[in-house]
């Protein structure tokens, strides 16, 4: 506003005031000034069909949008060697089938146990930001949410106190909660209290993806389909079954080095669990 369009002190002060007003006005949406959503008459271009989103999809969508906008995500990709674990799993399932116990172990159960160990050894990943974002709350328990695909949309039942349960107990919990999820019978209590979440797409395929953090948690682990890969053993390439891992974390709480250390610890915990169960 100065002579010859020079910027004066008052111009800077006014700019800062306006920026602060914008942030305050947009606080509920992460302080973003977004363009309006484009309005398009799709019927002009051809035949269309309009369907309503299910109630679950509407609620989930709103939560995912909030989490994606307000949480600075970083996704770290890695692979875990599950060759020995898969052999153990098949052996255990054969024994359970002979006993007609109804128990069928999945890789997910072993992942949960290894995660509980890693979360207790590196507990910052088992934390939540305080409301004022000036500190974190670290939980001394491990409650793992499992994202379950249902006909009506995504739900996340929570398996509680994973650190205190063995693989048989976890399998029973998963079977019960997954059944309730598919039947639409989960209670609010069964979908609350999680400290960390797993999103497993291994049964469908894919390699890596970017799972969205389930606030107020600070991390989520994505699992994709295991595949055979040649791995150098020191003197030759050996075929190994590798499980793709996609770890998303809140960069306000977890930095890159912590994310890598956590995945390394998880892989170590998974290998140790396999050795323990092999006897």
Q: Which residues contact 74 (CB under 8 A, 6 or more apart)?
A: 248, 249, 251, 254, 256, 259
Looking at the chain, list the stretches that DSSP marks H as alpha helix, in order from N- to C-terminal side: 9-25, 55-70, 83-99, 107-121, 167-183, 256-278
Q: Catalytic pick from 73, 172, 225, 251?
A: 251
Token pair of 141, please?
């328990």
Q: 251 an active-site residue?
A: yes
**Residue 72 φ/ψ, nearest 5 degrees:** -75, 100
Q: How far apart are CA 188 and CA 193, in angstroms?
A: 10
**Residue entry with tokens 């409650």:** 143
SS3 26: coil
Of 191, 185, 165, 261, the closest CA to residue 219 belongs to: 261
Which string of b and e fits 86-124 if b means at least 16 CB within 10 Å? bebbeebeeebeeeeeebebbbbbbbbbbbbbbbbebeb
Residues 6+ apart with CB under 8 A from 108: 146, 174, 198, 200, 223
Q: Which residues are catalytic?
A: 251
């Amino acid at each position: 506003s100065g002579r010859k369009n020079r910027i004066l002190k008052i111009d800077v002060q006014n700019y800062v005031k306006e920026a602060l007003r914008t942030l305050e006005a947009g606080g509920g949406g992460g302080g973003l000034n977004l363009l309006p959503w484009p309005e398009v008459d799709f019927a002009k271009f051809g035949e269309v069909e309009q369907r309503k989103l299910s109630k679950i999809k509407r609620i989930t969508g709103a939560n995912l949008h909030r989490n994606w906008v307000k949480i600075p995500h970083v996704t770290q990709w890695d692979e875990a060697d599950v060759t020995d674990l898969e052999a153990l799993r098949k052996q255990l399932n054969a024994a359970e089938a002979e006993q007609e116990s109804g128990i069928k172990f999945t890789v997910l159960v072993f992942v949960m146990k290894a995660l509980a160990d890693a979360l207790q050894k590196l507990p910052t990943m088992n934390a939540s930001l305080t409301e004022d974002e000036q500190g974190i709350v670290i939980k001394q328990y491990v409650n793992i949410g499992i994202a379950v695909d249902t006909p009506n949309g995504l739900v996340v039942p929570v398996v509680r106190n994973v650190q205190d349960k063995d693989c048989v107990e976890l399998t029973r919990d998963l079977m019960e909660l997954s059944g309730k999820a598919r039947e639409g019978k989960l209670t609010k209590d069964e979908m609350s209290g999680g400290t960390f979440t797993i999103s497993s797409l291994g049964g469908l395929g894919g390699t890596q993806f970017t799972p969205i953090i389930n606030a107020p948690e600070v991390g989520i682990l994505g699992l994709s389909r295991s595949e055979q890969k040649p791995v150098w053993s020191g003197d030759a390439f050996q075929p190994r079954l590798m499980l793709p891992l996609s770890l998303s974390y809140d960069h306000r709480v977890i930095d890159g080095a912590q994310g890598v250390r956590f995945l390394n610890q998880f892989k170590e915990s998974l290998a140790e669990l396999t050795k323990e169960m092999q006897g």
